[in-house]
Amino acid sequence: MLTACTPNRKETRSCFDTDVEIVFFDRKMEKNFLIYGANGYTGELITRFAVERGMKPILAGRNKAAIEELAEKHGLEHRVFSLDDTPKLDAALQEVEMVLHCAGPFSLTSKPMVEACLRNKKHYTDITGEISVFEACAAKDKKAQDAGIMIMPGVGFDVVPSDCLAKHLKDRLPTATHLSLAFYGMGRISHGTQATMTMNVGRGGAIRKDGKITPVPSAWKTREIDFGEVTKTGVTIPWGDVSTAFYSTGIPNIEVFTVAPKNALKAMKMSRYLGWLFATGPFQKYLQGKIPPGGPSDGERAKGKTLLWGKATDAEGNSVESRLTTPEGYTITAIAALNIAQKILDGNFTQGYQTPAKAYGADLVLEIEGVQRTDV
């Protein structure tokens, strides 16, 4: 735990004929959190936003030079360890209340951190968007409840706004049986996002059908989506909500669409046939090596924004539609992740596996400046 001392009372006492003022301090234990993968593009952004809020997270990661430099820049404590160094991982978690895991692809990094959180009884959050990670976390629900901790993956752009939209639609139409969600991100994507997408290329698509996550071909369906200010062609993608919206709403049929440029749509369709090739080691190494580091600049983030749309329908043919406008994807990721971290540090959490909207409600996203929700 990070400790902070607050002056409590002052007394004046006489010492060798001199009056001495003694200040007494309360040693107040302040709850703190660990950012693992803090030197990545998103980890750094979250660190910067956290410091601007007056939070003092402990920074961690496996890259000694990068973590030391970042910690020094912001005047924060740091720990350096890889995720297979269990003693150091446990020691770092013992110092904090929760972790905000920012080192992805999470299908490669989440498991050891979740296990460590269960062992050390510390809350787990991350910024994943990977269905397999959400499902692996959901399977730890009972263990998390027994440990008295909350496990909440997906506290970034994926899935906070879309999860809140899904919950809002379900609140508007409690009989809903089908849910479609879509997002149109206007902005550049980061190294880690591209790395994660590249790793999953060739694995096909996924929807939720009758409550079960069901594989479908890549770019399985397209449809026109009216985002309010623009209408765009959306294409199905295996986005995190295919997993999470089911836990948040109980709606058994879920599809998620995004807007892909024509070339990307072609490549997605081609991956149906060449996916096996894209997934091979040498091809992956080649593709991963081509990804530029970093992500959108502050200026690009400031100009970017994201539009979301959702529709819920029921067996009687009733339907509701709503839209969200949010800040740019990485900006909202950092803000949403820190809003949730603050809630947990304040003791506002629900034990077990949770999704953002299940734990905090559909209006969680409205706490973020610049977010607007419209019912169509």
Identified binder of ligand NAP from the candidate list 49, 63, 209, 284, rule CB under 6 A: 63
By CB under 6 A, residue 108 contacts ligand NAP: yes
Which of helix, strand or coil describes residue 130? coil
Establish if 125 lies at the interface with ligand NAP (CB under 6 A). no
Shortest spacing between CB 365 and ligand NAP, in angstroms: 13
Binding flag, residue 157, ligand NAP (CB under 6 A): yes
Q: Is 334 in the site for ligand NAP (CB under 6 A)?
A: no
Write down how long the chain is: 376
Pairing mode, strands 253-259 and 231-236 = antiparallel
Residue 92 tokens, joined: 């770092």
Question: Closest Cα to residue 62, out of 33, 95, 42, 85?
Answer: 85
What is the C-alpha separation between 239 and 223, in angstroms, rounded?
16
Verify binding: residue 243, ligand NAP, rule CB under 6 A: no
Task: Work out which of 234, 238, 295, 352 binds ligand NAP, going by CB under 6 A.
Answer: 295
* Complex with ligand NAP: residue 157 or 253, whichever CB lies closer: 157
Q: Is 348 helix (H, G, I), strand (E, B) or coil?
A: coil
3-state secondary structure of 229: coil
Which helix (H) or strand (E) segment is 151 a member of? strand 150-152
Among 58, 71, 80, 104, binds ligand NAP (CB under 6 A): 104
Q: Which stretch binds ligand NAP (CB under 6 A): 104-112, 140-148, 175-183, 348-356?
A: 104-112
Quote the CA–CA distance of 26 and 300 in Å, as a whole number.
45
Q: 158 or 255: whose CB is closer to ligand NAP?
A: 158
Q: Applying CB under 6 A, which of residues 47, 180, 196, 313 lies at the interface with ligand NAP?
A: 196
Q: Which position among 35, 93, 150, 158 is part of the footprint of ligand NAP (CB under 6 A)?
A: 158
Q: Name the segment binding ligand NAP (CB under 6 A); options: 39-47, 133-141, 252-260, 276-284.
A: 39-47
Among 57, 133, 138, 156, binds ligand NAP (CB under 6 A): 156
190 makes contact with ligand NAP (CB under 6 A): yes
43 binds ligand NAP (CB under 6 A): yes
Number of residues that bind ligand NAP (CB under 6 A): 34
- Secondary element (H or E) of residue 357: helix 356-360
Contact between 192 and ligand NAP by CB under 6 A: the answer reads: yes
The encoded tokens of residue 142 equal 């009972």
Q: Which of 199, 177, 178, 197 lies closest to 189, judged by CA?
A: 197
- Give CA angle at 239 (234, 240), nearest 5°: 145
**371 lines the binding site for ligand NAP (CB under 6 A):** no
Which of residues 58, 89, 99, 103 is near ligand NAP by CB under 6 A?
A: 103
Q: How many CB atoms lie within 10 A of CB 266?
A: 12
* Residue 109 binds to ligand NAP (criterion: CB under 6 A): yes
Whether 135 contacts 153, CB under 8 Å: no
What is the torsion angle, in degrees rounded to the nearest 10, for the CA atoms of residue 176, residue 157, residue 288 and residue 206? 0
Distance CA 216, CA 213 (A): 10
Quick one: which of 93, 98, 117, 129 contacts ligand NAP (CB under 6 A)?
129
Beta bridge partners of 11: 22
Applying the rule CB under 6 A, the residues between 199 and 238 that interact with ligand NAP are none
Written as one letter, the residue type at 56 is: K
The nearer residue to ligand NAP, 150 or 173, going by C-beta atoms, is: 150
Joined tokens for residue 80: 């350096």
Give CA torsion, residues 66, 158, 349, 169, to 10 deg: 170
Q: Which is nearer to ligand NAP, 192 or 234 (CB)?
A: 192
42 near ligand NAP, rule: CB under 6 A:
yes
Assess 61 for contact with ligand NAP (CB under 6 A): yes
Calpha distance 59→73 (Å, rounded): 12
**Nearest distance from C-beta of residue 268 to ligand NAP, angstroms:** 17
Residues that bind ligand NAP (CB under 6 A): 37, 39-43, 61-63, 66, 82-83, 102-106, 108-109, 127-129, 156-158, 190-193, 195-196, 295, 330, 333
